[in-house]
Amino acid sequence: MSKKKLVTIIICAVILAALLIGSISFSVYAYGIAEENKEDDIILDVDQSTLQLSSDTASNQSDNGVIENVNIYTDADSNQYIYDSKTGKLCAYNGNLSSLNNGNQKLLTEKKITQIADNLCKRLSNGNYYTMTDKQYDEETEIYNFTYYHFVSGYKSSDFIFVGIDSYGNIANFAAPNVDSFKKIKNSAIDISALKNQLEIDIKNTFATDMQSYKIDDEIIALQEDNSLKMFFYVEITLTDGTITTYQDAIDI
């Protein structure tokens, strides 16, 4: 599975109701040009009592750390606010794209939009450090999509933050489902060679003589319910008949 496809699947799950577990604090104020962009205050500090509960959803992807229940609320403009039902924390937002620009706003430069995304990530991070790993512009929606990861022992973890900002600087959506999930996990050396050796064994056992070659697209550390760690490998497999397929493996660290 490619990195883009992985992020797309995770984000769709988050936005549409299959969210990862998260605990978010909004005490840190943004820097840079955030003072010109007060929309994050309106969204992050929303009074939940003014919202309407629209659905209560469950997910069956617990092996990847996905929580069982989230509550989705909507406001008068049909914007969605997604809360972790266990902690009551806002962990994602999905804006109604048709109501983002009121026609009185001016287009911003990519640099300023990136600053807005960085500022929002900082507010969502609860003091943790995240690295931007991907930035893409969707011409159809005119939204810049940013992906940030918290790294553990030098590898991306399932603690990610996704931010979508439109061309006018409005927050289109965000997801910060796993903030603080690795807070008590200490960085330690990972024997990546041993993990990759096990991955190769698993691939050969699965595809046998049908495999021609394989390529690792991504490696992400995920925290399990018992606080153990697994390395999730997302692999592209080329079969002997030229067909390309995807493979996912989770190996204990």
DSSP H helical segments within 45-143, as ranges? 110-124
- Say which residue, 249 or 43, is predicted with more confidence: 249
Which range among 33-47, 152-166, 223-237 shows the weakest confidence by mean pLDDT? 33-47
Kindly report, residue by residue over 17-66, the tens digit of the pLDDT.
333 323 333 222 232 333 445 667 778 888 888 899 886 554 434 444 44
Identify the sign of the CA torsion 169, 34, 177, 156.
Answer: positive
Q: How far apart are CA 178 and CA 65, in angstroms?
A: 9
Phi, psi of 36 (to 5 degrees): -85, -10
